Amino acid sequence: MMPILSMIVLIPLIFAALALFTKTKEQARVIALAGTVIVLLLTVYMYFNFDSTIADNQFEELAQWVPSLGITYHLGVDGIAMPLILLNAIVLPFLVLFTWNDDRKSPNKFYACILATEGAVIGVFTALDFFLFYIFWELTLVPLFFMVSIWGGPNKHKAAIKFFIYTHVASLVMLLGIFGLYFAAWDMTGTPTLDIPTLISQFQFIESGAAKDMIFLALLFGFIVKIPSFPFHSWQPDAYTEAPTAGSVLFVMLKIGGYGLFKVMLPMLPFTASPNLMITIMAALGSVSVLYGAFLALSQKDLKRMVAYSSVSHMGYVTLGAAGLVSLSVSGAMFQQFSHGLIMSVMFMSCGIIKNTTGTRIINDLGGLAQKMPKLAVIMVMTFMASLGLPGLSGFIAEVSVLAGSFGNLPSYVLIAVSAIVITAAYHLWALQRAMFGVYNEKLGTVVDIDTFQTVSMGVIAILVLYFGLNPSPVLDMMLTNSDNIVSLMAAMGV
């Protein structure tokens, strides 16, 4: 069988290396587009050959690497990973098209960072060995750090360092959890292994309840910082805001924290010594993130920073849904990751266009842009409505699934999240009304609408937001199979 998972991981990394050796912007962007399109085609092939009715890993590749340490080259995808790989494969070619006419320094390095990020993120989603998983996890930091620090805004260096320190420290804590699990399993079986499914299955046999809880919390910390979740979110608004538009979209594609919740944490949760405490921690972090992020978004004057804080709020649904522990809430949280990636990509693209065209992102300094930029206005209105949860768009499917599914087990925390709905609608509508409608601010001078490349890039993703809002089954069915499997495990253990 064709090693398709190795191909979708290695091709972006190989094309990233090729992009570094290009001499012109034209060469670099063609290399980037070719690499991302090849990954998209391979991913589409995988999607149509993926069996949504089973929760097992598919397209597996396994080879011994360092047997003495239990390290293997083990790749595979299930219904948790496949939609996220599809998300990255869809968005990245359109991101390259979106930047097609941009003039920036070192375009070869810029496009290399885009490709390297894609390869690293897909590597995390496909790795079934913790050694591989951690390598790709850390590799995501490098191109994103340079994306912010080289091509970012006025405070780019501070934002880049803050992002690196926060997420790297969290990764080290997560690594301690991996080591704890690794050595505990080695001590019990006498055989070293870093195979993720094997270690998760061995977790239940660890005798010490305190050791179980410490391992679980260490891994959980690494994942929730990456999501990010309150109160470990402060790196995110700075990094998202200071990053160039392409960097902000790449951050949105970084769904590895939420992926870790579903792939690693939930299968381990029923075997911890204090499962109810762990559920409470996750539910509290998720619900507070939804409400706190909404309040912070409402208070922002900068349009892009408002969108960044709204991302904190919306990702809170992922943690809350995971804690709900019913199939509807867990699958809704998975779908929220997919939907959020599509919606936020276009929202950050919109913010970048407004900044480049008008010279400002300050909401009160804008006004009436729809008169001059009707194509941008249509796309912005659709994605802002999707972000606030309008029925018929993908954001509604995800959020209503999380709230309805979680209410039975977590009514108090769901009520906290529900209270943010009005605030969420308020800041979206407030920003749209002031930035896009009303009287045009003549101080902005002459502005032009989005070009063909930008229209196609943003328009296609916006259409997908509508499509998956009306018909979520093409990705939701995969998620439901795995969420059913996770919830069955919880029920069997009495959680």
Tens digits of per-residue pLDDT, 185-237?
999 988 999 999 999 999 998 888 899 999 999 999 999 999 989 888 889 99
Q: What is the average pLDDT across 152-159?
A: 90
pLDDT tier for residue 170 given thresholds of 50, 70 and 90: very high
Instruction: Give me the pLDDT at residue 495, please.
Output: 61
Residue count of the chain, please give it. Answer: 495
Q: Show the tokens assigned to 8.
A: 């979708």
- Judged by DSSP in three states, 243 sits in coil
CA distances from 60 to 63, 75, 250, 409, 442 (A): 10, 5, 27, 35, 59
Q: How many whole angstroms separate alpha carbon 58 and alpha carbon 159?
A: 38
Instruction: Give me the pLDDT at residue 487, please.
Output: 84
Residue 429's contacts (CB-CB under 8 Å, 6 or more residues apart) are 384, 388
Instruction: Give me the pLDDT at residue 71, please.
Output: 94
CA distances from 70 to 51, 61, 192, 194, 484 (A): 29, 16, 5, 6, 31
Q: DSSP state, 265? A: I
Q: Show the tokens assigned to 36.
A: 């991302």
Answer yes or no: are the C-beta atoms of 436 and 375 closer than 8 Å: no
Angle formed at CA 174 by CA 172 and CA 180, multiple of 5 degrees: 105
Does the structure show a pLDDT above 90 at 250? yes
Average pLDDT, rounded, for the chain: 92
Q: What is the average pLDDT across 460-487?
A: 92
Q: How many whole angstroms separate alpha carbon 396 and alpha carbon 403?
A: 11
pTM over 0.85: yes
Does the structure show a pLDDT above 80 at 492? no
Instruction: Give me the pLDDT at residue 95, please.
Output: 96
Instruction: Give me the pLDDT at residue 493, please.
Output: 62
- Judged by DSSP in three states, 249 sits in helix
Tell me, rounded to whole angstroms, the distance of Cα 321 from its chain centroid: 15
Alpha helix segments (H runs only) across 388-472: 394-407, 411-418, 420-436, 452-470
